[in-house]
Amino acid sequence: MMSIYRIPVGPQHPAIKEGFQWNFKLDGEVIVDVTPRLGFVHRGIEKGMELRSWVQGIYLAERICGICNTPHTTCYCLAVEQLYDVEVPKRAQYLRIIINELNRIHSHLLWIGVLGMEIGFMTYFMYVWRDRERVMDIVELITGNRVTMSMNMIGGVVYDITPPMEGIIRRGLDYLEERTKYYKEVLLNEPTIRARTENVGVLSKSDAIDLCAVGPTLRGSDVKSDARFDEPYSSYDEISFNLVTYPYCDVYARALVRADETLESIQIIRECLDKMPSGPIKVRLKRTPPPGEAVARVEAPRGELLHYVKSDGKEKPYRVKMRTPTLANIPATCEMLKGYYIADIPAIIASIDPCYCCTERMLFIDINSGKSWVWTDSELRRYSLKYYRERRK
């Protein structure tokens, strides 16, 4: 029986950058092994970086992922500044914190809305995305653009926050805080959401550490690790905020982690606005950095992001390596699927909230008979229904 497993290209919600495809190895009913196949949205950015000058690299780094564009530019600029061995002025560091946290609020609210859309709760999606516009207004106020902030520059920051802006930003933050608390309330005790997210896609704490998971996926399994604490870049250590973790290890925990982190981010921005030092916002630097190499780590909304930069003194980078947080989470995602029955795959895949447009194919290989077949999600769902009905008889 050969038929293709394919979730069609359709209205998709962007949660990760790389499209991926799941290959399952089965022993009868139980999933023994899962291997992913990426590459559907691969554009060859790392090679593209070598064709661009250092400054042009910022604009390409920004468009690796549309949602968390700021962490990418922050990480790239931090790495290059390490090459120059220069310290960015204090005010620029605080501005970078504010922009990164605004981006985190934007990304987390987006994901919470998409979680509602994912389980068919359109009203929740509409309300959350209506309030998310408030963050984009603040971002537009500071940088002039709703989504791609292009705030960072090698040696500092491009835009500044003037006193009249602060008042608007604070009012926006108050409104956002009140709304995020309300959405967390809904998340906590709305039965249909809980029915679709509780103890689904469980990732134990030890697996999360072994498989190097990052971000909310890791912190949902009760592991205290956040790049802002592990490596306090751009004076995060001067800001007091706490690390959010939940012990339930399932999708419900990850949703709660993201909701709490949004509230934390709002506090961070307020504290930055209070303690904002005066002074210049950028440092003038030569066009090409001295030869050498540098590594920078930043906490993107989806997890720890790493940029490695190598320069040989020329005006184009010799090598730029980026590791997006989603790539780190894929082995952990495979772990979540192991040991479950075929019938559970639709629930877990939906709970991981993959980028539907890229989750294309699911290949099954029965290791006993060596027979291999590929199923469509619909056939998979039909099989799971039949499977559960037999179990219930």
Residues 234-293 that bind other proteins (CB under 8 A): none
Judged by CB under 8 A, the stretch of 164-172, 257-265, 270-278, 304-312 that binds other proteins is 304-312
Instruction: Give the residue with the Cβ less far from other proteins, 241 or 273.
Output: 241
Binding to other proteins in span 306-345, by CB under 8 A: 306, 308, 310, 318-319, 321, 323, 327-328, 330-331
1, 10, 163, 274: which one binds other proteins (CB under 8 A): 10
22, 76, 121, 183: which one binds other proteins (CB under 8 A): 121
Q: What are phi and psi of 266, to 5 degrees?
A: -60, -40
Tokens of 168: 């608007």
27, 29, 85, 160: which one binds other proteins (CB under 8 A): 85
Binding to other proteins in span 23-62, by CB under 8 A: 35-48, 51-52, 59-60
**Contact between 3 and other proteins (CB under 8 A)?**
yes
Q: How far is the CB of 68 from other proteins (least distance, A)?
A: 9
Binding to other proteins in span 360-389, by CB under 8 A: 376-379, 381-382, 385, 388
**Contact between 87 and other proteins (CB under 8 A)?**
yes
**Contact between 164 and other proteins (CB under 8 A)?**
no
CA-to-CA distance for 58 and 72, rounded, in angstroms?
A: 8
The alpha helices in the chain, defined as continuous H runs, are 45-50, 54-62, 69-84, 90-118, 122-143, 163-189, 191-197, 205-210, 215-219, 227-230, 251-274, 325-337, 345-352, 377-392
CA-to-CA distance for 89 and 99, rounded, in angstroms?
A: 16
Q: How far is the CB of 362 from other proteins (least distance, A)?
A: 12
Contact between 253 and 197 under an 8 Å Cβ cutoff? The reply is no
Instruction: Give the residue with the Cβ less far from other proteins, 37 or 275.
Output: 37
CA-to-CA distance for 193 and 184, rounded, in angstroms?
A: 12
**56: Cβ–Cβ under 8 A, 6 or more apart, which residues?**
none
The DSSP symbol for 237 reads G
